[in-house]
A and B are shown apart, each in its own frame.
Chain A
Amino acid sequence: MSLVLEARHIEGGYNLGAGFLKAVDNCDLYAYEGEIVGVAGESGCGKSTLAKLIMGFTKPPLKLVGGKSIVDGIDIYGLSWKERRSLWGKVVTMIPQASMNALNPTKRIRDIIFDVVKEKFPIPPSKSEVLDMAKKRFEEIGLDPVALSMYPIELSGGMKQRAVIAVSTLLNPSFLIADEPTSALDVSTQKLLLELLYTLVRKKIVKTLIFISHDIVTLRQICDKMCIMYAGEILEISDTEAIMNRPLHPYTKGLMESVISLSPSIRKTTLKGIPGAPPNLLNPPSGCRFHPRCPYAMPVCRKKEPSLREVEEGRFVACWLHLR
């Protein structure tokens, strides 16, 4: 299996009036061909920022401070902004959070597609070629090609979401980042979308998918590997099954204990949640960033920051409970 994404020591953040907010701090992320990697964490933990830094979308105030990102053999930060722009859509694509609103309401879907293609090629292919390509992709993801000549307003939420995915994967990018694609959908549409993302990778339309969500239950449905983020740092990376069976980091445990699952016993149990709020990243706490909310906090957690280490085979965690 070849490595599709190699993001090493990624560090970056936003230049704000009050100072530099480091939204992502020293994050390592690897993804192999055919893999679906889930990134989980609460809002504001830096998930989306990490995604942007991986694909090189450093539009001010966002800034990369250190580290590098290699996607499909291409060193993203070795390229100029213009060169990077030409890669988006062809090598790496992001399905944005608000993809429901990503389509221009005054244009038909096919005109939006023509625009995208025109932008990416110096000599654009003919319209009929593009249309054939689009028809094929629409069928592959289970959307009626009739939708090509419709306006976004005529499509339902789930169809719009599919159309966005069709447009973003049209040029066969090898690497797809889906940023909270399911959060605005109801459960039935959400299930269809998960199935679609799953098929995209399994049918090898895209080589690798990074699936960002705050909801570990949706992630767990399709992801092979999961990565838990908190306050700009990665706290745990493991196989999904391993995490689900035995979470190592207290934060992961807390997240799992906040899941309201649909079972008869749920009414009798009282879930705990995680008290407190994530830290202000302008002034992060000393030591482990989770220690103010951690039920197992020890003196060392306040002083020294744990680094992400392999504690068992294939299980990486940054927590003093597991490091010696």
Chain B
Amino acid sequence: MLRVENLTKIFRTGFLGKGEEIIAVNEVSFLLRKGEILSLIGESGSGKTTVARLILKLLRPTSGHIYYKDTDIWDIPSKTYWRKIQAIFQDPYASFNSFYKVDRILKNVFKLFPDKISEEEKDRKIYEVLERIGLDPKEVLGKHPFELSGGQMQRLLLARCLIIDPEVIIADEPTSMIDASMRVILLNILKELSNKAGKSIIFITHDISQAFYVSDRVLVMYRGRIVESDSVEHILFSPQHPYTKRLISDVPKLHEKFKFTLT
């Protein structure tokens, strides 16, 4: 579906970019296949979100290319491209215009489509999608974003995404703002989308257990580079890079207690 080759992004600080160089993403290459969930794990500042923004055409890479079905994404008109690739971001409150009511936000989505769609058709589609992800349309429509809970907002972002019905979904820490009980429900929806609807999903997270729960393959990013990429089982049983090893050992587990020694 998506092929990323030697992607590099360098940010420059200072006046006219004369200051320091920050290499946010360094020679990153990977493949995203149809219907799979690929996880991108890394600590804060490791360049995960920059990769997402590069794929979404929100940033231009310094060097390297991204191909969508063998066409460079910068050769595809943005409107067409964004119908194929959509994202769910970390902070749902920052992703919606808080002056608009939910129905207007969702109806605005239809502007991405080239043909005119009748109002009834729009309503029908919105209802269908909301019910699919377990939101009661009567409860959320007609409300402003700030009247909804974090979990509802996050699912609304997903709903927006599903109305467009893209082939690729980029989920950038979608569960960071919601409670554990709701988190699982959201992850299950993602899993279902890939298994049943055949969507390709890039799941970005710092939480290794979530990545292992949803994904088929895992990429571990450390300081802008991909240091490890393998199937979930391989990484869990035989992590190669010291960073991955530390990540796995430091995750708190439900049926195990950390042993601290008093010094």
Contact (Cβ within 8 A) B253 A261? yes
A303 at the interface (CB under 8 A from B): no
Measured in the bound complex, the distance between the Cα atoms of B147 and A172 in whole Å is 42
List the B side residues contacting A264 at CB < 8 Å.
233, 236-237
Contact mask B240-263 → A, CB, 8 Å, 1/0?
000000111011111101101011
Contact mask A41-71 → B, CB, 8 Å, 1/0?
0111000000000000000000000000000
Interface residues on B, range: 35 or more
Q: Give the residues from 233 to 247 in chain A that come closer than 8 angstroms, CB to CB, to chain B.
A: 244
A199 at the interface (CB under 8 A from B): yes
A-side residues, CB < 8 A to B, are 42-44, 186-188, 190-191, 194-195, 198-199, 202-203, 214-218, 220-222, 244, 254-256, 258-264, 266-267, 270-275, 277
- The B contact surface, by secondary structure, is helix
Contact (Cβ within 8 A) A271 B184? yes
Q: A220-B252, A259-B254 in contact; A267/B246 too (CB < 8 A)?
A: no
Measured in the bound complex, the distance between the Cα atoms of B254 and A221 in whole Å is 8
Q: A262-B251, A267-B212, A271-B213 in contact; A255/B257 too (CB < 8 A)?
A: no
Contact (Cβ within 8 A) B188 A270? yes
Contact (Cβ within 8 A) B254 A273? no
Contact (Cβ within 8 A) B257 A221? yes
Contact (Cβ within 8 A) B209 A266? yes
Q: How many A-B residue pairs have CB under 8 A?
A: 116
B152 at the interface (CB under 8 A from A): yes
Q: A187-B250, A277-B151 in contact; A260/B213 too (CB < 8 A)?
A: yes
Cβ distance B263 to chain A, nearest Cβ, rounded Å: 8
Measured in the bound complex, the distance between the Cα atoms of B179 and A255 in whole Å is 10
Contact (Cβ within 8 A) A186 B44? yes
Measured in the bound complex, the distance between the Cα atoms of B208 and A244 in whole Å is 22
5 sample A-B contacts, Cβ–Cβ < 8 Å, listed by A number: A43-B179, A187-B207, A258-B183, A260-B183, A262-B208
Measured in the bound complex, the distance between the Cα atoms of B79 and A42 in whole Å is 39
B43 at the interface (CB under 8 A from A): yes
Measured in the bound complex, the distance between the Cα atoms of B67 and A301 in whole Å is 57
Measured in the bound complex, the distance between the Cα atoms of B206 and A267 in whole Å is 18
